């Protein structure tokens, strides 16, 4: 039974990708952006524009980019 449900989900995903060509690109872009933002926050020791005593670095030269 689990295999049938899995196949139905794959078919639904294929249909979604056919209807919205940019779905996968935008999903990957959002995931990568969130991962990079979390990594930068961890490396710096503070969120963007946040002032803390434990802050190690600055985030100058940072701006939003979109995937092509």
Of 1-5, 29-33, 44-48, which gets the smallest average pLDDT?
Answer: 1-5
Give tens-digit pLDDT for 46-64: 777 777 787 766 766 556 6
**Which residues make Cβ contacts (< 8 Å) with residue 47, sequence separation at least 6?**
41
67 alpha-carbon distance from chain centroid = 12
Q: For residue 65, give both structure tokens.
A: 């980019």
Domain of 27 in residue numbering reads as 1-68
Q: Is the dihedral of CA 25, 27, 28, 29 positive or negative?
A: positive
Threshold 0.85, pTM exceeds = no
- Please count the structural domains in the chain: 1
């Amino acid at each position: 039974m689990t295999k049938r449900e899995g196949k139905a989900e794959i078919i639904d995903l294929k249909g979604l990708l056919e209807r919205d060509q940019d779905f996968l690109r935008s999903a990957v872009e959002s995931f990568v952006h969130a991962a990079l933002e979390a990594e930068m926050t961890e490396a710096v020791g503070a969120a963007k524009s946040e002032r803390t005593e434990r802050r190690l670095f600055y985030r100058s030269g940072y701006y939003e980019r979109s995937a092509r």
